[in-house]
Amino acid sequence: MGIHKNAEWLTGRIRDLQSFLCVGLDPDISKIPESYKKSKEPLLDFCKDVVRATESVAIAYKINVAFFERWGSQGYRQLEELVRFLPQNSFVIADAKRADIGNTSSQYAAYYFDQLNVDAVTLHPYMGFDSLEPFLQYKSKWSVILALTSNPGSADLEMQNMMDGSFLFEKVLSLFGRTEYTDQIMFVVGATQPAHMSRIRQNIPNHFLLIPGIGEQGGDLKTTIGSLRNTHEGMLINVSRGISYPNGVNTNFESIVDAASSYSEAMKRFFCG
Amino acid sequence: MGIHKNAEWLTGRIRDLQSFLCVGLDPDISKIPESYKKSKEPLLDFCKDVVRATESVAIAYKINVAFFERWGSQGYRQLEELVRFLPQNSFVIADAKRADIGNTSSQYAAYYFDQLNVDAVTLHPYMGFDSLEPFLQYKSKWSVILALTSNPGSADLEMQNMMDGSFLFEKVLSLFGRTEYTDQIMFVVGATQPAHMSRIRQNIPNHFLLIPGIGEQGGDLKTTIGSLRNTHEGMLINVSRGISYPNGVNTNFESIVDAASSYSEAMKRFFCG
């Protein structure tokens, strides 16, 4: 990951592969096939196979850090190995959902951007602008900020109305959506939120979006791409469980290849028309 | 940490020690004395000395997980050792500020509450109620939810007005402040926010609060205790840098003992009057 994967790089990769596909790596010990569990590093070995099965079609990989932190220091050892294993030409997102006061966020930023050296990390906006500034100081790295998430609980706060009639998630978009950061801030917008998509694109016409909620969570690909695509493509669409565990406990290498190809083919149709 | 440290236990400890003191463990490699840096486990060795210097006066320890995650798997090994080292009769908070969709939050909850087995973990409320439910399923553990934080950026979103005139942080208090959870939810309220304290206490008269912002960040002890104390004491007051690094780089064991004693004595005055 030596090169700076800016917005132009992302647009180029999306057009080359005719795909928005980000493969989510969520190594859930209760779901990975039995054969991996005999290994000393089951999370790593399973994720490596998911990567081998998907690297020809994936633009990006999103590593769900929780599934590694679950196992503490042993989990982090596997996380660190996994990042070294990922293809040089993939965009790597640590889905960590961190954020704290400045001197503490600096520590998180140093781990993810200096030591682990991933391209992007996901972040909570709740504590305000200064809480994310230490991440923004890394000009060649991406801060991926939660805006409107894919879960039902997004109605509790994110979709609550502010005094001026806007939603809370729109306050987040305007707080972090300044043009000077278009090349280093993305926003998370769930594919399960079609009603808000066109308004979101009006608020932030130029920013890249990271889109969870396709697959297991039920979001629709056509609506999502139709509503959120912009002139430089502008999105990565994540699929985690739908690719890693397409057949539940009977998942194997071939079924992962097939699931990834099927998402890839479905996306390709939006480039051929 | 075999016993369930519920609200009644906390009230008892606070009255026994006549103190609200929570000692924050933030092992910042740029601040810890030179002598520790030769060690293979400098974070652990420094924190152990902070604990030895403060255990007679501390009700609680708040471990800032970012300063361990900064060093990846090596940091987590030290974090895990540190938790095992902490006194049995202290209340242990992992200041991790996690939260994600349900299946992912379950992984974080399993690490902090099952494997690490701390008493409490700090959490971001932004993604709504369902994002924190996996933590709330641990009935004998505490979810410490960010409400009004101590940093200037708290004005950006937390203090923004909602349609009904309340602040966003008040929506958080009402979303998570149901009485059925008084024995397992605390809220974070910064000591730097005196203007909002009495209203916060009206909103959630019975909940415990975790209060950062005393010491380095400038919050006032008398105002904080005067405004937020309730009939069962109802708060833990955290001091991190003011105890661990009272003399900057010239900090030593004695200066940590002295700093902790001085906060402890200052708090004792609110029990003798």
Confidence of residue A273 (pLDDT cuts 50, 70, 90): low
- Which residue of the set A38, A40, A48, A97 is catalytic? A97
Instruction: Please give the torsion angle defined by the CA atoms of residues A178, A180, A183 and A185, in that order, rounded to the nearest 10 degrees.
Output: -40
Q: Write down the pLDDT at residue B242.
A: 93
**Which residues in chain B are contacts of A171 at CB distance < 8 A?**
157, 160
Give the other-Cβ count within 10 Å of B204's Cβ: 24
**Which residues in chain B are contacts of A153 at CB distance < 8 A?**
127-131
**Which residues in chain B are contacts of A161 at CB distance < 8 A?**
162-163
Contact B27, B227 (CB under 8 A): no
Asked which of A40-54, A162-176, B243-257 is least confident by mean pLDDT, the reply is B243-257
Which domains, ranges and CATH numbers included, belong to chain B? Answer: 7-187+205-272 (3.20.20.70)
- Looking up tokens 């950006």, which residue turns up? B156
Active site residue B97: yes
Query: Are A72 and B76 an interchain contact pair (Cβ–Cβ within 8 Å)?
Result: yes
Q: Write down the pLDDT at residue A264.
A: 96
**Cα B250 to the center of its chain, rounded Å:** 26
- % of chain B at pLDDT higher than 70: 99
d(CA A16, nearest CA chain B) in Å: 32
Query: Are A128 and B152 an interchain contact pair (Cβ–Cβ within 8 Å)?
Result: yes
Q: Is the dihedral of CA A81, A82, A86, A90 positive or negative?
A: negative
Q: What residue of A is the nearest CA neighbor of B149?
A: A127
Confidence of residue A118 (pLDDT cuts 50, 70, 90): very high
Confidence of residue B98 (pLDDT cuts 50, 70, 90): very high
Asked which of A167-181, A190-204, A237-251, B58-72 is least confident by mean pLDDT, the reply is A237-251
Whether pLDDT at B272 is above 80: no
Query: Are B124 and A129 an interchain contact pair (Cβ–Cβ within 8 Å)?
Result: no
Q: Write down the pLDDT at residue B245.
A: 92
Q: Write down the pLDDT at residue B250.
A: 80
Query: Are A103 and B127 an interchain contact pair (Cβ–Cβ within 8 Å)?
Result: no
Q: Is the dihedral of CA B12, B15, B20, B23 positive or negative?
A: negative
Q: What residue of A is the nearest CA neighbor of B74?
A: A73
Whether pLDDT at A257 is above 90: yes
Confidence of residue A219 (pLDDT cuts 50, 70, 90): confident
Query: Are A151 and B107 an interchain contact pair (Cβ–Cβ within 8 Å)?
Result: no
Q: Write down the pLDDT at residue B18.
A: 96
Q: What residue of B is the nearest CA neighbor of A116?
A: B72
Query: Are A152 and B160 an interchain contact pair (Cβ–Cβ within 8 Å)?
Result: no
Chain A interface disruption, residue of B67, B73, B133, most A CBs within 10 A: B73
Q: Write down the pLDDT at residue A217.
A: 79
**Which residues in chain A are contacts of B149 at CB distance < 8 A?**
101, 127, 131
Q: Write down the pLDDT at residue A244.
A: 94
Q: Write down the pLDDT at residue B120.
A: 98
A218 vs A89: CA distance, rounded Å: 29
Whether pLDDT at A109 is above 60: yes
Helix, strand or coil for residue B112? helix
Query: Are A73 and B73 an interchain contact pair (Cβ–Cβ within 8 Å)?
Result: yes
Q: What residue of B is the nearest CA neighbor of A101?
A: B151
Query: Are B128 and A157 an interchain contact pair (Cβ–Cβ within 8 Å)?
Result: yes
Confidence of residue A81 (pLDDT cuts 50, 70, 90): very high
B208 vs B187: CA distance, rounded Å: 7
**Which residues in chain B are contacts of A98 at CB distance < 8 A?**
66, 97
Chain B interface disruption, residue of A113, A144, A156, A174, most B CBs within 10 A: A156
Q: What residue of A is the nearest CA neighbor of B77?
A: A73
Instruction: Fill in the amino acid letter for B96.
Output: A
DSSP string over chain A: --S---HHHHHHHHHHHT--EEEEE---TTTS-GGGGGSSSHHHHHHHHHHHHHTTT-SEEEEETHHHHTTHHHHHHHHHHHHHHS-TTSEEEEEEEE--SHHHHHHHHIIIIIIS--SEEEE--TT-HHHHHHHHT-TTSEEEEEEE-SSGGGGTTTTSBBTTS-BHHHHHHHHH--GGGTTTEEEEE-TT-GGGHHHHHHH-SS-EEEE--BSTT-B-HHHHHHHH-BTTB-EEEEESHHHH-TTGGG--HHHHHHHHHHHHHHHHHHHH-
Report, as an integer, the average pLDDT of B247-257: 88
Closest CB from A95, A125, A160 relative to B171:
A160
What's the farthest any 2 CA atoms get from each other in chain A?
A: 57
Q: Write down the pLDDT at residue A248.
A: 79
Rg (C-alpha) for chain B, rounded Å, is 18
Query: Are A155 and B102 an interchain contact pair (Cβ–Cβ within 8 Å)?
Result: no
Closest CB from A28, A129, A163 relative to B162:
A163
Average pLDDT of the residues of chain B? 95
Q: Write down the pLDDT at residue B216.
A: 74
Whether pLDDT at A132 is above 80: yes
Helix, strand or coil for residue B166? coil
- Residue B100 makes CB contacts below 8 A (sequence gap 6+) with A66, A95, A97, B108, B127, B131
d(CA A172, nearest CA chain B) in Å: 8
Whether pLDDT at B163 is above 60: yes
Confidence of residue A72 (pLDDT cuts 50, 70, 90): very high
Q: Write down the pLDDT at residue A218.
A: 82
Q: Write down the pLDDT at residue B178.
A: 87
